[in-house]
Structure 1
Amino acid sequence: MSIQQCRLPREAYTVGWVCALPCELTAAVEMLDEEHENVDCDDGNLYTLGSINGHNVAIVCLPAGCIGNNPAATVATHMRTTFQRIRFALMVGIGGGVPSKEADIRLGDVVVSQPNKTSGGVVQYDMGRATPTGFVRTGSLNAPPRILLNAVAKIQANEGLGRSQISRHLKKVSDRNPRFRRERAGVDILFDAAYDHVGGNTCEECDAAKQESRAPRRDSEKVRTHYGVIASGNQVMRFATERDKVAEELGGGILCFEMEAAGLMSSFECLVIRGICDYSDSHKNKKWQTYAAGAAAAYAKEILSVLPATLSTSRIERQMRDDDEIRSEIGLEHSDEIILPRTRRSSALIPFRRDRGFVGRRDTLNQLSTKFEGESPKDHARVALVGLGGVGKSQIAIEYAYRLRDLYPDTWVFWVYAGNATRFKQAYRDIATRVELPGWDNPKSEILQVVYNWLRDENNGRWLMILDNADDDRIFTTSVDPESEPVAAGDMAPLESFLPQSSNGWILVTSRDQHTAMNLVESSRQLLQVDPMSEEEALLLLEKKAFINSRSETDDARVLVHKLEHMPLAITQAAAYMTANPMRSTPLGYLEIFQKSEEDQARLLKNAVSRDLRRDKSVPNAVFITWYISFNLIRDTNPKAAEMLSLMAMFDKKSIPALLLRPDRDVEVFEAAARTLSDFNLVKIQGVPHMFDMHGLVQLATKSWLKDHQKLEAMRQKALSVMASISTETLQDHTGAARVLFPHAQRTLDYVSEDSEAKINRAQIASSVAKYLQYGGEYAEAGELCRDAVVVMTSVLGEQNKKTLNCMAHLASIQYTRGNLLQAESLQRKVLEGLQKIGEAESPDMFRGFAVMGDILLETHNYDEAEEYIWQAVRGLQGTLGFEHKDTLRTCSSLLRILRTRGKHEITESMHHEIIGGLTKALGSEHLWTIASKAYLADFFTNRAKYPQAQKTWQDIIETTQKSHGTEHPQTLIATTKLGYVLDCQGKHTEGERLLRENFEKTSRILKNKHPQTLDNAYCLALALVHQDRDADAMGILPQTIKHLVEVYGPEDQYPRKITGMFVTLFKEKNLYREAEILEQILNCQEST
């Protein structure tokens, strides 16, 4: 290698070479034909520059101690930003081999990633998702670029012909640097996969009998190259058994394990080349690392040796000298921000400087290159960048324009602002002036037609026209009225007729409106969607714009770009604020203001502190204001769409269901409005039935826009009205519709209004949300919401109102599920009296109230009255709703329970099955009402001492509730208590105790100590302990349980006395009279207080 003291521009480097360890960097540098002087870079990486076979190569190594996929991704992202002309990359270094019968891999061999039928050559084995059947890996990555696969094929052919130069490359380096000699690496030993290393830095203490026997290789085959799949992960593979297990799970054929490729290929498609330094087992030895790194680097050099270089160093130097001479002649300082005409014929009319801090967007730029510069550019004469305002469409267009001029200096580039007709025409006149077309200086000339004719003439060379901010279709389709505007006769046609379709020209459109863009490019295949940046791109943009160099600020910067939802204009705006305000010059300082409230966020994003010279002067620099332009345009062209957007902003930003948005709209009007919003990229339409997603900042901007127009309060009231009308029936359980609606209902609860109707609507929503929470077992929060709703309803409507009484009935139901039985009973009696007074005595609401009352009284052991209420409920609901209605079936289930409890044994198993079948048909097998009816069947079995049937039923119930509602849902806890009791009844005391003890901890934590189900679990646990003669342990539980039973059920209730009496009898039978006396004293003391 020679050191050539030349300094090439970044654009000269077309190959990226990434390595992870210092020994890999040493090997890479040793392979260079020439080493170049470094260029200035401010991306945090340190580069070694040079050339191999005419290819200019940028080599980068990961920071010391930072290995793995994430550091590799960061380094690669920075490299691509700095060296934007890189055509492809090589990931070169060491790895752990996977020896097998199919692949005789030895230390010092080389493994090269090659695609197969199931992967692109690299799989990320520690990336995947959890499924009911286990962990499914989803980490397959893209294949290497085709140009590198062609080079691999060429090398494989050369190997077959005996023409490979890999060994020669390695020998030249080892002759120059003895560290790379094979004999320094030591002995190649492979141990049995099941035999682990016994300790120490070498394998001298390991059992030689455990070594695998392998045939020796000839000297000419010391280094073999293997082609196939490489497994990449974030941890070192340290054990051979795990190595083989993972390799088998990945479908076999894995040749190597390593730690960086997946991170690199997620942002930088490349060829992975690994020298084998160990066998991915516990017998690791660093002695082989240097030789293995050299072998991999030798293969990388061979890749570059078979690929022709596209741009030689001498050509680049000559081009730089020519540029400097031209600049000197016209009196300019050296600057890389000004594009000079390469010839007298063509030039660029780009009104903005090139952004040397441009970040990312590689895929979009590559797509543009493919369409405009590919094999059939005539088929892609027009392409549109479509996306939300502020997402960076114009900046991508600027960057592409400069890149195109770099590649094709003879191509004209014209920038036409298309936000209004006047600017469009002025841009055409500027083109005429630059090209010096006839009539360019005559205001009366038909300048549009003149420019159009010139553009169509292929003799005038190739050109690119950027049609920027083409957001309003009317600008292009409306003819000019000569009475309102003086215009030449030839220029009166719609502007779209002056956009040529010729084989020598391309048009790149930027637009917020997909509909307008589609009309201009004529095919959806020519639309390129521009989305917000990736996290790494957004982070890098903020670092560049706000001059963030400190690693300590990176975490705050990551939070900030997440808050700004990776929107480029918002990030740029935040960076400008930080730069202009010394007191808020860090991401944390900005976040402290931004996170205070929505009002602070809107204030920051509505006001730009400085003007961005790289944006058109008519385009706002504040992201909210640029969106206001879209809002106003939609309001003018489709008021229904503006109204829909306003309503959407009142709900949660994700998965807004269509039923919230079209209560009073016909389908055609609704779909037209939805299309308009989607075309402007303000919402995304997901799935069927349709759901709508909003960008969070767009939602915030919409609210700010409504506030500025004094419409925010009215829209909040409308959202409350819409939600109240839908939520009452929908938020009854956790069905799909309820889950979708719930976050939106929660959001509307934030809207507090003094308007009476709005208060009632909000209270109704609160009651509905409380039902949803109650169904999910979140009783405390449900109770608070419902209690507040009752207060509002009572204050606005009065107590004797149906809405108020229904809300009170719901509160009584929540109190019942919370175990507050006496409060629930008192409240429900009040509800029934109220319904009677307002003439609802024969209504379904009254009969539902009877059913709730019956359930409460059954729990408080008032059996006679409970039975009477439940019979009335069954007869009333069957008469008004029918037997097969879910409310009737549920009440019939309660009736069977009370009749069984009272010893009326005419109840049969078939009756329970009939109710279960009806509820399953009406609600599904996983609904809590269906599960409760199955629980009553399990109790029926237990009461008849049919313990095996009871055990099976409870186990089925637990499986269903855990799957559908979670392991800590109250219904799961209740079923677990009952199962533990049934196990104990069958003599399975230890198993029953274990289950009850685990469940006691959960019920105490979730339902609290005085909940009836916690108390039931406590006495069942005590009973299991007594059955095992662990009476002292039982006495550790019973005193507190008896106290709580009396507090919950009242001193007059017989249930606490019944439980206490059972244990007193058991203790006396064991001659434990002292324990029996203690329990009786506790009961008497509690009853007397």
Structure 2
Amino acid sequence: MEDYLAILRLDPELQAEYPGTIKDRLFEASYNHLDDQKSCMQLGCSGELVSRSRLENAEAISPAVHFGLMASGDLVMKSGEDRDRIAAAEGVIGFEMEGAGVWDSFPCIVVKAACDYADSHKSKDWQRYAAATAAACAKALLSFWVPSPSADNLRSVQSNESDLSPDKRIRMPLPEGASSDRESRDHPVFLVPFSKNPIFVGRDEALAKLRSLFFERNQRKVALLGLGGIGKTQIALQFAFLLKQNKPDYSIFWLPAYSMASFEQECAKFVKTLGIRCSDGEDAREVVRQYLNSEDSGSWFLIVDNADDINVFRRSTTSGGGILAFLPTNNDNGCILLTTRSKEVAVALARKEIMKLPHMGFEDASDLLEKSLIDDNGPRNDQAVAKLLNALSFHPLAISQAAAYMNTYEASIEEYSRLLSDRDERSMVELLEQGHDDDTYYHSSQSAVATTWIMSFDRIRRSDPAAAKILSFMAFIEPKSIPRSILPSLETEQQSTHALGTLLGHGFLTQREGDRDTMFDMHSLVHLATRRWNEKEGRGKEMQLMSLARVAEVFPTDDWENREVWRQYLPHALRLLTSMGDAENDDVCKLGFWVGRCLCIDGRPKEAVARLEPVVAITVKTLAEDDPHRLESQHALADAYRGNGQKEKAIELLENIVAIREKILVEDHPHLLTSQHELAVTYLLDSQRQKAIELLAHVVATRERVLAENHLHRLTSQDELTIARLIERQRKKAIQLLEHVVRTREKVLEEGHPHRLTSQQELARAYLAEGQKKKAVELLKHVVAIRENTLAEDHPNRLTSQYELARAYLAEGLKQKAVKLLEHIVATRNKALAEDHPHRLGSQQELAGAYLAQGKKRKATKLLEHVVAIREKTLRENHPHRLGSQQELAIAYLANGQRQKAIELLEHMVATREKTLAENTQVD
């Protein structure tokens, strides 16, 4: 009753609010109101009040229900004394007028709410509240009241009933308390196996859409489609109770369809409850269908719930066909709402009238969690709630399951979130498989989100093995941004389309709209459940190896032209390789090699090292020293080491590779020249300039002899030789060679190609070194603009070009621009690189120089002290970078007035250089 009253209070026009205890006044029976035309307030009624303890109780606003004899008359009772006399004599609980005379026509009960005390002190303040309370009470009473069987329905069954057609069938006598189908037209039936869900929240849009489809657009059949546990049954249940309230002339029926047995059992109950004649051997399902097709059924609304298996719904092997064959088809008085996880089932019944149910929004999900948790779990932390709901993907069943766990074990939201994010996947699965008591589910397994999905996976495996194969494969890759091209290949394109359609239809996949290439996403909790399913089926290892082989087969080479593909595949390949742990096989080596190389190009050298070191370890164990695959993997690892700032390791590997290849390959072999080129570049980074120039000069001379003028490898080596000459102050030669390289590459490479941009960047550096500052700035601005559009913010190439542009700005006197850009570079590199990484330290030193140029001496000094401290720990005493940063710090000390510190540092540097010079002379 209070629920109905609360609904009435939502409408302000009804004024159904409780007037308050201050207006609840009962005078002594002998104290009379003197003027009917005036209120008590106007007259100033001030007689003795009867004391009542309930008015002192905070619960006084809750209405109480009294059962007893009502006194009905044709005049208003206005005397307290007469009231008391009649009540005492007749034992009545109240006085009313409207029921007078009705009893003479037919038996009835009177439901009334008190708006006064049947004395002379009348007040209109209570009339609206009394009317609303009486209406709520009557509504509640009717929802529990079962009509008695009528005399017509208790007649004996005619002996020739079996000869009559189904539509003229004589009904059986009813058990006590049940209503017949004939009565269902006059007294609608409510046959729903669940009670109203007291914690149902939100879903207003879904309920409104159902209401519109059925009662505005007059659709007879609608399918509610969605992922298991997303709330289809709960919405159907809520809609049933709303119909009961708002469409009182409708009978409402509910038939479960998760199996043919459950459907048949409920049909038998349907027939028995409505008292429909069903002779021995007659199919109750067919009897129900005929009844709902007949006029005798009146207006009805049928909910067919959990129809998830197409074989049960449409192609059952049992006699008479599937469930679809037993649903009414030609009665305009009825409507059918189907809930299903299967798009195929939805289409079979509703054709295009399919309503796809989305996940809950944040507010609804938060309300559901709040309503589901018991009150004494402590105050809610909004941030913790948001984190948990995100982890549960706003999935209603997962939220209810989490709340049940927290209630049972008195766990906080934070504790449950920690359990859910446990690295031990088994712990997470245990949480998702733990069902809970809930009388809005058929059995406990349906209250566990992982279990309900695994049941769907089993159905898919039986009905569409190709879809099950794709589903198993997806368990081992990332659940988001899945390219169609990475999926296992099937015999025909039609098979692939059908299999993906099955997974999309069940809601296990969603297809991204607007993508040029077909991309899919999988619900993260479904992804976890698929892995559990593979394990339960004993196919976990087999499917993992199959998935690894597939990705190793389709993963492309690291060519720049393939970058769009390998960027899409990288997250999936990385997840697979991580899941393989220390496994050693050909597919791990093959995939790990190409993943490592692509990571290097993508500016992720640290991850590349992590992927390539295991590959090299396997090849060293299994292949000969001069095996091409072993040398290729070592070469790739050396490249990763260099990018990661591990120059010594890179040089050691490359010197070994060059030595082996010089023994087994001819002088102009491409592989030998590539190794020599990479070793020379690494020498250059390690400040071994003379070695670098000699080796590069040899490579360039050889490549100029055997390769075309515009060949990529020839131009790359010329690039690097130019850089080395720049460092050695051979600027004019460098600019001349670089301008040739840039012109050639601009003819043969696209604008954003990394080699073209690198050449332009190096030419700009040469211009800057030669004092051609404006040329340098313009060219670098062009390079930076393209790299900012095509590379990630922390990509080394993007940061390097920004760094060079900042140096050019500083040389041009544009200090503010230089500082702004350098501060960005330093902040980005501080996040992405190790503390002692040369690029991180180099950008910090350059920023300090910019600060010094701006007159920010303290900032410059503090930053340079940090750089010097790190380099003194990690570089040899006479290393050029260490000496260079010490020199910059000495200059900063002088500018800051710290002369003694500057002198001490400069004296130390002079001593170091003298010592190094003496050692070199002695060696010579």
Alignment of 1:269-668 (within 5 A): 314=131, 317-318=134-135, 320-321=137-138, 324=141, 327=144, 345-374=187-216, 376-377=217-218, 380-438=219-277, 440=278, 442-458=279-295, 460-478=297-315, 491=320, 495-496=324-325, 498-523=327-352, 526-548=353-375, 552-555=379-382, 556-581=384-409, 584-596=410-422, 597-608=424-435, 610-617=436-443, 620-663=446-489, 666-668=492-494
The alignment status of 1:714 with 2:553, answered yes or no, reads no
Question: Which of the residues 844, 855, 864 maps onto 2:694?
Answer: 864
- Corresponding position of 1:1081: 911
Does the 8 A contact of 2:260 with 2:323 survive in 1?
no
Unaligned runs of 5+ in 2: 22-127, 149-176, 920-924
- Which amino acid is 1:527 matched to? I
2:321 and 2:599 mapped to 1: Cα distance? 64
Distance 1:852 1:463, change over 3 A: same
Give the CA deviation at 1:968.
Answer: 5.1
Q: Per residue, is there more strand in 1 or in 2?
A: 1
Q: C-alpha displacement at 1:416, in angstroms?
A: 1.5
Q: CA deviation at 1:408?
A: 1.5
Q: Is the 8 A contact 1:801 1:838 kept in 2?
A: no
CA apart distance, 1:350 = 0.9
- What is the identity, as a one-letter code, of the residue corresponding to 1:637? S
After superposition, the C-alpha distances for 1:802-837 in whole angstroms (9 at most, x for unaligned) are 333222212222333344444322211222344566
1:729 aligns with: 557
| Contact residue 800 and residue 837 of structure 1 kept, 8 A | no
The 1:492/1:750 distance shift into structure 2, 3 A limit, reads closer
Contact 1:382 1:506 in 2 (8 A): yes
Secondary structure of the residue aligned to 1:652 is coil
Distance 1:430 1:871, change over 3 A: farther
Q: Report if the CA contact (8 A) 2:305-2:339 is conserved.
A: yes
For 1:909-933, what per-residue CA distance to the aligned partner results, in whole angstroms no more than 9, with x for missing partners? Answer: 6523334425741xx52x5433322
Contact 1:7-1:37 within 8 A present in 2 as well:
no
Q: 1:981 to 1:628 in 2, by over 3 A?
A: closer
Asked if structure 2 preserves the Cα contact closer than 8 Å seen for 1:1046 and 1:1087, the reply is no
* Mapped contact 1:390–1:569 kept (Cα < 8 A): yes
Q: Is the helix fraction higher in 1 or 2?
A: 2
Taking the aligned partners of 2:525 and 2:775, their CA distance within structure 1 comes to 57
Distance 2:807 2:446 in 1: 71
Q: Is the 8 A contact 1:560 1:591 kept in 2?
A: yes
The aligned residue for residue 804 of structure 2 is: 978
C-alpha distance in 2, partners of 1:478/1:1008? 63
Q: CA distance change for structure 1 residues 450 and 957 in 2, over 3 Å: closer, same or farther?
A: same
The match for 2:532 is 704
Distance across 2 between alignment mates of 1:914 and 1:613: 77
Q: 1:1042 to 1:360 in 2, by over 3 A?
A: closer
Counterpart contact for 1:935–1:954, Cα < 8 Å: yes
DSSP 3-state at the match of 2:339: strand
Q: Which runs of 5+ in 1 are unaligned?
A: 1-5, 18-30, 40-310, 332-337, 486-490
State whether residues 935 and 975 of structure 1, in contact with CA within 8 Å, keep that contact through their aligned partners in structure 2.
yes
Q: 1:330 to 1:404 in 2, by over 3 A?
A: closer
Q: How does 1:131-150 map to 2 (within 5 A)?
A: none
Q: Deviations over 1:973-1032 (max 9, x none)?
A: 434543454455556678768876886787678656765556766886798899999999
Aligned residues: 765
Indicate the residue corresponding to 1:35 in structure 2: 17
Letter in 2 for 1:443: D
Residue 403 of structure 1: how far off its partner (Å): 1.1
Alpha-carbon spacing, 1:16–1:651, altered in 2? closer, same or farther (3 Å): farther
1:416 partner SS: strand
Higher mean C-alpha deviation, range 559-568 or range 1044-1053: 1044-1053
Structure 1 residues 602 and 918, CA, compared in 2 at 3 Å: closer, same or farther? farther
Give the aligned partner of residue 577 of structure 2: 749
CA–CA distance in 1 between the matches of 2:541 and 2:800? 45
**Which residue identity does 1:361 align to in structure 2?**
R
Question: Is this contact kept in 2: 1:1064–1:1079, CA < 8 A?
Answer: no
Match of residue 37 from structure 2: none
Q: Deviations over 1:395-454 (max 9, x none)?
A: 11111111111112221212122222333333333333333333x2x2322544443333
The 8 Å contact of residues 385 and 508 in structure 1, kept in 2 or not, is answered as: yes
Q: SS of 1:35's equivalent?
A: coil
Distance across 2 between alignment mates of 1:569 and 1:919? 58
List per-residue Cα deviations over 1:452-488 (Å, max 9, x = no partner): 333223453111111111112222433766xxx6xxx
Give yes or no for contact 1:1046–1:1086 (8 Å, CA) kept in 2: no
Check conservation: 1:728, 1:768, Cα contact below 8 A.
yes
| Conserved 8 A contact 1:1010-1:1044 | yes
Is the alpha carbon distance of 1:1004 and 1:600 closer, same or farther for their aligned partners in structure 2, counting shifts above 3 Å? closer
Structure 1's 339 and 866: CA in aligned 2 closer, same or farther, altered over 3 A? Answer: farther
Name the aligned partner's letter for residue 482 of structure 2. I
> Residue 643 of structure 1: CA displacement?
1.1
> Offset of 1:672 from its aligned partner?
1.5
Q: Distance in 1 between matches of 2:799 and 2:645?
A: 14
Aligned-pair CA distance for 1:768: 4.3
Q: Determine if contact 2:836/2:871 at 8 Å carries over to the other structure.
A: yes
Partners of 1:585 and 1:964 in 2: how far apart?
A: 47
TM-score normalised by L of structure 1: 0.62
| Equivalent position to 1:946, from 772, 778, 785 | 772
The code of the aligned residue for 1:455 comes to L
Q: Which one of the candidate residues 646, 667, 670 is aligned to 2:496?
A: 670
Q: Does residue 692 of structure 1 match 2:520?
A: yes
SS at match of 2:521: strand
Q: Are the equivalent residues in 2 in contact too, given 1:731–1:741 (CA < 8 A)?
A: no
> Which residue, out of 9, 13, 26, partners 2:4?
9
CA RMSD of aligned residues (A): 4.6
Q: Distance in 2 between matches of 1:1063 and 1:327?
A: 89
Choose which of 656, 660, 681 in structure 2 pairs with 1:855.
681
Could you tell me how far apart the structure 2 residues matched to 1:621 and 1:990 are? 62
Larger radius of gyration: 2
* Alpha carbons of structure 1 residues 865 and 630: separation in structure 2 relative to 1, 3 Å: same
Alpha-carbon distance in 2 for matches of 1:652, 1:847? 39
Q: Any idea what SS the aligned residue of 1:612 has?
A: coil
Correspondence list, 1:671-1070, <5 A: 671-687=497-513, 688-727=516-555, 729=557, 735-752=563-580, 755-757=583-585, 760-797=586-623, 799-835=625-661, 844-859=670-685, 860-861=688-689, 862=691, 863-872=693-702, 878=707, 883=710, 890-894=716-720, 896-897=722-723, 902=730, 904=733, 907=736, 910-918=739-747, 920-921=749-750, 924-925=751-752, 927-965=753-791, 969-983=795-809, 985-986=811-812, 1013=839
Identity of aligned residues (%): 22
Contact 1:627–1:701 under 8 Å retained in 2? yes
TM-aligned CA deviation for residue 616 of structure 1: 1.8
